[in-house]
Structures are given as structure tokens and as C-alpha cells.
Amino acid sequence: MTITTATAFASREEYHHAVDSALAASAAYYGDGSSPLDDATFDLLARRIVAHEAEHPEHLRSDSPTGKVAGGAAPVGDVAHSVPMLSLDNVFDAESLTKWGASVTRRLGAPVAGGFAVEPKLDGAAIAARYRNGRLVQLVTRGDGVHGEDVSHAIGSIVGLPERLDTDLTLELRGEVLMTHEQFERANETRQAHGAKVFSNPRNGTAGTLRAKDRPYTIETTFFAYGVAGVDAEAPGLPGDTHEAVMNLIAAAGVQTTATAGVGMRVHATLEEVQARVEEIAGLRAALPFGIDGAVIKVNDFGEQKTAGVATRHPHWAVAYKLPAVERRTTLVAVEWNVGRTGIIAPRAVLEPVEVDGSIVRYATLHNPAFIQASGMMVGDTVTVWKAGDIIPRIEAPVVDLRTGAETPIVFPDACPKCGGAIDTSGERWECAGGTGGGCGLLASLRYAVGRDQLDIDGLGTTYIEALVDEGSVVDVADLFTLSRDQLVSATRSERRADTLLANIAAARSKPLNRVFCALGIVRTGRTLSRQIARHFGTMDAIRAADADALSAVPKLPGANAPKIAAHIAAMGPVIDKLVAAGVNMTEPGGPAETEVAGEVTELPLSGQVVVVTGGMNGPLAGRNRTEMNELIERAGGVSSGSVSKKTTIVVAGESAGSKLAKARTLGTKVLTEQEFADVLGDHLG
């Protein structure tokens, strides 16, 4: 972790300039969410202001942001907080953590006896949720810490914050509202569909969403509690003696807490253990389904918290251990257009290289042309680049305030950048009109076809595929099934590898139809739709016989896509014929061809059910990945889905199930263990 030491400014003028910039940045940030400074730059500026004021107290300006919640710029409402909503002091390394520990010991007059609770520092907006007799009655933002805004209109759209507790407690939950990466994705799709500006990052999206009233659409967010206060100004009378106990109690009442936020809450006896845990959390950060900007360390015992006390703006008994920023400002230098597996022409942002969380970022995804248009981005714009989990870095809206006038429009291609042929611009994503027939996207489509969730031909990596294509042995996916041993030896330069591949290719011949169909890379279809189509028709012959109308009857298949899908299936006729001739399986186990024996339709155990699987599978379902689980669900007559909604009827919750399980609980959806689900499947478990 590289932390720049904050030093005082060289002159009073520089100090004034810094205070002005910090104030302007906070005002913009809490105004329309468009701060010209990224978090890391702002943090450093704020720390230099503190350092300067310590060295030159005579320079101190009364409007300095030092020591004020949100730099004094957050919108303040008229709801008084029962107990002030404090901010946290920051540490950035082991040394400053030790210093904080020493200050706590000094205040207690003895080392901390009840341990330190360590939990993730969630990157969203603080909120107070007031419950009376177990009912959620009011939501209030932090505001300036003393007064906040009433945002009760958001009740019902926040996952993890139930409208009723499982007990009749009267208390105020304190916690963070945020958008998971998935919620952010959906939020921007919704905004795009309604012609609204896309959110530049989940934090701004959350703040805007909490405050917005009367939107014609709903945007979902997520809550994690990190504390409890009394609703009335009197002594809160907390239901426990430690932070850990209270968090466990409210979790048992149905609330999502930081203890369930992916990395969990741990209590440690020493600061050495705390430091190790923070490093562990830093390592887990990229894989979390939402953003965290550090860890929060709290003295666990309430008695000790009380003795340690609070300063004006932050408690002495807790501290934030900040991790390096995952968000930086940079410049959009150019936009490249690349042709993907199914001939999709995808835009990619070329960025002025910038370090984000320890690695240099040069590119970011731009999704599709419609996204570029909705974002209003131009070449030369300042953009915020951030890493969401372990996925590709991304940029969203440009920082319009920083435009110089030298920006130029993004140029959209008018011919396929790979083959120079026509582009089909009728859909949201643009495609090479040549499709996957063999030209554009052949390598990518073959790589996809042999993938684990399609034909699963283990060992046939990119290098060998390229060699086979270069030698002219393979011009489409069907050719893989007629490769000779000699051709494979030549491509892999190894007899052993060739034999393994021959065996794996032979095994791929008996894959279910859904995988064979998926391997064709038909436009507008992927794994889920391939399963639906295979299940619906049962055989490749039936699929080929289907026209656009018949395809529209497939669950989840958007009618508007049916003509394109039908046309592509027809165009792939010769390849399908070659697959048949090579002895590749063309039926779906459990499809209509198998269930309607002699006109008798078998009743399936999951008929009419919409099932979501979450967490790792154990027990009778051990080792099954998502694709295999989805195949299982659909063979048993159910519909599988990736996200929990009101339509979901069953959630199968495995090991470490997280936000989907929480959402199921919020919606009151039926939740089954692996064993219970296996019992429902019965013979269909196979």
C-alpha cells in the first residue's frame, strides 16, 4: 500500500487555494455528485490541510473543512438525530493503527479487554432506520450528523432492511445503503431505458436514489447495519453489552448486518491480529459483490466504548482503516472497436494510464454504442475509472465540468473493423452482418464452443485452436468432431496431448442438445436461452423446423429477437448437418421428445417454479456448478434464474449464500437447503 505523507503547504496562499478547492469539491460531490477530485486526491488534499493547520494555527480559516462531517457540505434536512451520527477518523497503515490503539489504552487507563470488532467499511451512504415495535417507520440520511433528511419514501426498495423485524423492538439501526455491482448495472440499464443520465458510480447512484422522489421507475439498493441507537434521546437501552452481541441480535431479527457482508465481522484481542485481518479483508475486496473502501475497527465492549468517549465529530473508540482508492480520474484518449465471438462489435475505452488499487489501468469497457450515447462521453473527456470487484475496469459518465472545449465526438464505425463488411446496427449491440459463419469471430466462437459450459473439450486451448485454424483443419465447430489423430498431433506437437483431446472430443459427442446448440453461437442466445430452446423443442430437428413465431413461444426469448435467431439457425444448416454426420447428440434429456412418451405428459417436480441457486453446493448437490444446476432445474420442469425477484418461487441456498439469500428473506421467498431441494427433485437428480 503506498500512502503519500501529507505535508504542510509552502505558503498561506497555497493553503487558501487548497481550502477553496476542497470546499468546492465537497459542495459539488454532495450537490450533483460530480466532484472534480477523485477520493484519493481529495483525501490527500484534506490531510495536507490538516498538516498545514497543525503547523500554522495562525492561518486557520473558520470555514476550513477540517473536522467537519462531509467537509460541511452534505445536504442537511430537518429531522434531528436522536444521537449524533458521527464520522470516523482514518488510519492508513499499521503504524497509525498502533497509535490509535495507544490513544484508546490511554483513555481507558488499561489495554482494551473486550477485544476489537473488525468489519468492512462499506462504500455507500449512511442512514438511520427507525423501528417502532418492530415496524420500520422512518429513514433519515446522515446530513450534517445532527440533522438529516427524511427519505422514508425509499422504504421497500432497500434489500436487507425489512419493513418488519422478527421482534417488536423499538430502536434505530445505523448502517450503510449501497448498490451492489449487479444493482448498479441494473440501475443504469433502467436509467438508460428511461432516457435518464447514467450514474457515474454506485456511491453517487445510491445517494441520488435515496433522495429522489417520484421517479417513474424503482431502483433497488442494499442495506447493511453497523450499529444501533435508541429512537428517543434517552439512554438507548441497547439489547446487549457488546457491539458483536447487538449485531447478532439484529441479524436474528432479520436485518442484514456487516457481519453478513461477504467478509463478515470478527472480534480480535490484539491490534496485530486486527492488522492481519485488515490485510485479509484487502485481499477479499476484489471478489466482493459491492465496493468497500476499508475496514472499520471498533472497541467491542460498550462499557469500554463509553469510557473511551467521543470527540466532536468522531468516536475515540472506533477508527476507519482506509484501503487504497479503487477510483481515479483520467482521460479518455480514444475508443477502439473490437469484434467478439459472435461477431459483436464492442467499444473499448483507451485511457491515459492510471494506477488503480495497485495496477495500471489502460482500458475500460464501454458496453455498447447506446451506452456511449446515453453517457454523452467524448474523446478527451475526464472520466472516473474504477474497478468493480475483479472484473474489467469501467468508466461511466464523463466529468462535464472539466471540459476544455477540445473534446471531440466518439466516432462510430461504418464497416466491420475486422472484415470491412456491413454492420447490423438494429440491436443494442452492433454485429458484423457476416455473423459467425466462419469469417469474423471464428477463433473466438471456437474458443467459446469448446468452453466448460458448452462442449467442455478440456485441453483444447487457444494456441491449439489457432494452429488448427491456421492449418485449415477447422473452419467451423463441426470440424472439431472429425479431426484425425495426425491433425491433432500436428497442432499440439504431442501424441499424448492428441490422444487426450481425441478422448475429450469423443466425450463431447454425447453432450446434451442445449450445449451443442449453445456451441453454435447463435446470435442473441447464450447459455440460458440455449437451455430454454433445447428444453422447449427437445430435438435439433424440431428447433430447425421452428419459425420465428414458434421460437417466440420459448420462455425468456424476447419475441423481437426471434426472426434473427431463426435466420441464423437456418444459416447454420450446413454446420448442423456436419455435426449430425459426425455423430453428435441432437436431443435434450428431459425435453418434450423424452417426456411425452406415447402422448402422456409426465408431471415434473419443478413445473411452474422459478428457482434461483446461490452459494456453493454441498451434500447431495456437491460439486455442481451453476450451469449444471440450471440444467438440473430445467430438466425437472423449472425455470432457472440468476437473480431473486418477486417472481422467484424457490431459492436454493448453499454455503456462504449472501445478498440473494438476504433478498429472498426480505421478499419472504421459500428458501431450501441442498438436501431439501434434492428431496424435491427426487428421481430427477439423476
Which is nearer to ligand IVH, 174 or 394 (by Cβ)?
A: 174
Closest contact distance (angstroms) between CB of 240 and ligand IVH is 16
Q: How far is the CB of 104 from ligand IVH (least distance, A)?
A: 14
State the first-to-last Cα distance of the chain, in angstroms, to the nearest integer: 50
Cα separation of 591 and 224, whole Å? 43
Nearer to ligand IVH, 52 or 121 (CB): 121
Binding-site residue total for ligand IVH (CB under 6 A)?
A: 15
Binding mask 376-415 for ligand IVH (x = CB under 6 A): ----------------------------------------
Rounded alpha-carbon distances, angstroms, from residue 121 to 176, 357, 686: 9, 16, 44
Q: Nearer Cβ to ligand IVH, position 88 or 661?
A: 88
User: For 475-479, which contacts have Cβ atoms below 8 Å and span 24 or more sequence positions?
Assistant: 475/438, 475/442, 476/438, 476/442, 476/575, 476/578, 477/445, 477/446, 477/449, 477/519, 477/520, 477/521, 477/575, 477/579, 478/575, 478/576, 478/578, 478/579, 478/582, 478/584, 479/578
119 part of the interface to ligand IVH, by CB under 6 A:
yes
Part in contact with ligand IVH (CB under 6 A); list of ranges 44-52, 266-274, 314-322, 418-426 = 314-322
Which stretch, 39-47, 120-128, 539-547, 676-684, contacts ligand IVH (CB under 6 A)?
Answer: 120-128
Q: Which is nearer to ligand IVH, 318 or 378 (CB)?
A: 318
Shortest reach from residue 295's CB to ligand IVH, in Å: 8
Q: What angle do CA 8, 10, 15 make, to 5 degrees?
A: 70
Nearer to ligand IVH, 126 or 644 (CB): 126
CB crowding 58-84: b at 16 or more within 10 Å, else e: ebeeeebbbebbbbbbbebbebebbbb
Query: Judged by CB under 6 A, does residue 87 bind ligand IVH?
Result: yes
Kind of pairing between the strands at 135-141 and 344-356: unpaired
Distance separating alpha carbons of residues 432 and 442, to the nearest angstrom:
12
Which residue is listed with cell 453446493?
617
Phi first, then psi: give them for residue 550, nearest 5 degrees: -65, -35
505 binds ligand IVH (CB under 6 A): no
- Looking at 85-93, 283-291, 349-357, 641-649, which segment touches ligand IVH (CB under 6 A)? 85-93
Q: Residue 166 Cβ, how far from ligand IVH at the closest point, in Å?
A: 22
Least distance from ligand IVH to the Cβ atom of residue 300, Å? 13
Under the binding rule (CB under 6 A), the answer on residue 318 touching ligand IVH is: yes
- Please report which residue ranges of 285-421 form alpha helices under DSSP H: 302-308, 369-375
**Which of 122/579 has CB closer to ligand IVH?**
122
Is residue 315 close enough to count as binding ligand IVH by CB under 6 A?
yes
Q: Which of 68, 99, 121, 564 is catalytic?
A: 121
Rounded to the nearest whole angstrom, what is the least distance from the CB of residue 490 to ligand IVH in the complex? 58
Q: Which of residues 155-214 bind ligand IVH (CB under 6 A)?
A: 176
User: For ligand IVH, which is the closer residue by CB, 259 or 383?
Assistant: 259
The residues facing 361 across adjacent strands are 354
Residue 257 C-beta: closest distance to ligand IVH, Å:
9
218-247 positions binding ligand IVH, by CB under 6 A: 226-227
Contact 319, 297 (CB under 8 A): yes
DSSP 3-state helix, strand, coil percentages of the chain (rounded to 5)? 40, 20, 40
121 binds ligand IVH per the rule CB under 6 A: yes
Pick one of 46, 126, 173, 198: the residue that binds ligand IVH (CB under 6 A): 126
- CB-nearer residue toward ligand IVH: 126 or 621: 126
CB of 303 to ligand IVH, least distance (A): 16
DSSP 398: E
DSSP notation for 50-87: HHHHHH-GGG--TT--TTSGGGG-S---SEEPSS----
Q: Which residue, 55 or 241, has its beta carbon nearer to ligand IVH?
A: 241
The answer to whether 323 touches 283, Cβ cutoff 8 Å, is no
Which span (115-123, 150-158, 490-498, 549-557) binds ligand IVH, by CB under 6 A? Answer: 115-123
CA–CA separation, 485 and 473 (whole Å): 12
Binds ligand IVH (CB under 6 A): choice among 49, 73, 320, 399: 320
Nearest approach in angstroms of CB 299 to ligand IVH is: 11
Quote the least distance from Cβ 265 to ligand IVH, whole Å: 8
Write out the H or E segment, with its range, that includes residue 41.
helix 39-55
Q: Which stretch binds ligand IVH (CB under 6 A): 121-129, 383-391, 563-571, 630-638?
A: 121-129
Answer yes or no: are the C-beta atoms of 205 and 211 closer than 8 Å. Answer: no
250 neighbors 257 (Cβ within 8 angstroms) = yes
Under the binding rule (CB under 6 A), the answer on residue 296 touching ligand IVH is: yes
Exposed / middle / buried, residue 2 (Cβ in 10 Å: 0-12, 13-18, 19+): exposed
Residue with Cβ nearer ligand IVH (304 or 631): 304
**CB-nearest residue to ligand IVH:** 126
Q: Is 663 a catalytic residue?
A: no
| Alpha-carbon distances of 448 from 348, 521, 576, 580, rounded to whole Å | 20, 8, 17, 20
Strand partners, 118: 266, 297
Of residues 445-474, those binding ligand IVH (CB under 6 A): none
Q: Is 88 in the site for ligand IVH (CB under 6 A)?
A: yes
Q: x/- binding map, residues 254-273, to ligand IVH, per CB under 6 A?
A: ----x---------------
CB of 275 to ligand IVH, least distance (A): 17
Contacts of 205 (CB under 8 A, 6+ apart): 179, 184, 187, 188, 199, 219
CA distance 654 to 237: 36
Q: Which CB sits closer to ligand IVH, 9 or 92?
A: 92
Active site positions, annotated = 121
Contact footprint for ligand IVH (CB under 6 A): 86-88, 119, 121-122, 126, 176, 226-227, 258, 296, 315, 318, 320
